[in-house]
Every structure is written in C-alpha cells, then in structure tokens.
C-alpha cells in the first residue's frame, strides 16, 4: 500500500512539472483559432541534404575567374628563393596562354612579412605557410608553389610531409605523386590545394611543368569563362 501511494505521488509530481513547463510556452493558453493562424516553422536543409550537391557548390566557389590573381613562388630546400631567370620566362609564357593573371612573388614581398627573430631565436619551421600568407597579404587570391628534386618527393613537398605543410590536400590530388618538378595551386586564404602539376623532364627548365599547370588552371577556369 505504501509503495502504491509513493508511486502515485511521484506520478503527480512529474505531471505537475510537465504542466508548469507547458504553461510557460507561448501557445500554452491559445485557442484552436489562434493556433490555426500560426505558420509552422520550416526547417531549411541546404542542397536538400545532398552531399553531392554540397560538394558541387563548394567546388563551384573555388573556380578561378578572369579576375583571379595568382602569385608564383619557387621553393628550394623548402625555402623561398627568387625565381631563376630561365624559369621566369616559362611562367611568363604561361600567363599569355591562360585567362588569369600570373605574377612572380618577389623577395621584397616575402621579406615584408617575415616574423622578427631575436639574435638567438629559432627560425619558423613552416615556410610554406609564410609564402601563402605573404601572397594573401599582397592581394593574391591564389599562389603556385613549385619546387624540384627533393622538394618534389613522393607524398611530400618542400622537404616536408604533405600532412605537415599546413595545407588541405585531397586524396586524389597529384601532389601526392613523386616527380622531378611539382607545383601546387593553393588558395591563399584557406590553404586548400585546388590542383597539382608535375613534370619528369626538366632538361629545359620547367617548361613541361608550366604546361601541366596550364591544364590545371584551364580546368578550374573553363566553367566560369563560359558562363
């Protein structure tokens, strides 16, 4: 009998809390006519919840346009160096063949954004991010980072494992491959690698690398240019 009374008391207590909570709601004492006038809240799901549509919209935002400005930066041993004259010519020839603006990143631009170090201080480890942020601060939407030899090893770039570069790299990107020369097209603001070019013949400088980068750029610009 006592157990039955305790159960009844607990049930009444829970019911009282529920009624009190409902009384605090905006429509607790509204009649049916009022409730019929209230428009139900609609839940909006972007792209109807489709992962494929979300990915397509994301890629569309990444497309290059005719107004995109791309900096070109040369790495040697993982560090930025001024573009050698012979390689500079190959990038200038490429600019004439694509719909975007290409500029060589200068040492003066790079030095403006280097962090100051004490006499006995330790230098920063990630030069790739320093170059990317330099390009962003100089008003470039993207940057082409490229290197040869040890800077273009398999699953690495600029002497660092790709997972340690600070860049976002897709699994199907050619940046994971080994080559004699490799170039990454990077969004300067997000650090996302939009594409990679490579060349195994650097006998005559980086002409083949620039040709392959032309393919990458055209694939990203063709949709916007045709629209």
Minimum mean pLDDT range among 29-38, 112-121, 159-168, 184-193: 29-38
pLDDT attached to residue 168? 85
Domain ranges of the chain: 2-45, 65-116+124-226
More confident position, 181 or 19? 181
If you average pLDDT over residues 150-170, what whole number do you get? Answer: 82
pLDDT attached to residue 117? 55
Average pLDDT, the chain: 76
CB 151 within 8 Å of CB 145: no
40: region left, alpha or beta (phi > 0 left; psi from -120 to 50 alpha): beta
CB 151 within 8 Å of CB 77: yes
Strands, DSSP E only, in 43-141? Answer: 69-76, 79-81, 101-104
pLDDT bucket at 61, cuts 50 / 70 / 90: low
CB 142 within 8 Å of CB 64: yes
**CA-to-CA distance for 189 and 193, rounded, in angstroms?**
11
CA dihedral (51, 57, 59, 64) in degrees, to 10, reads 180
| SS3 assignment, position 227 | coil
Residue 177: is its pLDDT beyond 70?
yes
Radius of gyration of the chain measured on its C-alpha atoms: 29
pLDDT attached to residue 40? 47
What is the sign of the dihedral through the CA atoms of 78, 81, 87 and 93? positive
- The structure's pTM equals 0.68
CATH of 65-116+124-226, picked from 3.40.50, 3.30.1300, 3.40.720, 2.60.40, is: 3.40.50
| SS3 assignment, position 92 | helix
From first CA to last CA, the distance across the chain in angstroms is: 80
| pLDDT tens-digit series, residues 73-121 | 999 988 899 999 999 999 999 999 998 999 999 988 887 877 665 555 5
Among 96, 72, 201, smallest CA distance to 146 is for 72
């Amino acid at each position: 009998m006592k157990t039955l009374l305790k159960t009844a008391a607990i049930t009444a207590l829970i019911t009282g809390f529920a009624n009190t909570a409902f009384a605090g709601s905006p429509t607790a004492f509204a009649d049916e006519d009022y409730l019929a006038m209230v428009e139900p809240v609609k839940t909006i799901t972007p792209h109807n919840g489709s992962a494929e549509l979300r990915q397509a919209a994301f890629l569309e935002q990444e497309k290059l346009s005719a107004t995109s400005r791309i900096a070109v930066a040369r790495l040697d041993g993982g560090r930025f160096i001024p573009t050698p004259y012979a390689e500079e010519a190959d990038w200038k020839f490429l600019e004439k063949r694509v719909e975007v603006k290409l500029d060589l990143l200068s040492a003066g631009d790079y030095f403006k954004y280097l962090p100051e170090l004490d006499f006995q201080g330790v230098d920063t480890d990630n030069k790739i991010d320093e170059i990317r942020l330099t390009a962003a601060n100089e008003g470039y939407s993207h940057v082409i980072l490229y290197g040869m030899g040890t800077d273009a090893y398999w699953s690495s770039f600029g002497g660092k494992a790709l997972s340690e570069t600070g860049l976002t790299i897709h699994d199907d990107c050619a940046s994971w491959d080994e080559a004699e020369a490799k170039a990454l097209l990077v969004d300067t603001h997000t650090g996302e690698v939009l594409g990679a070019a490579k060349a195994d013949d650097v006998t005559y400088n980086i002409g083949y690398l620039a040709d392959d980068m032309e393919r990458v750029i055209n694939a990203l610009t063709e949709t916007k240019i045709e629209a």
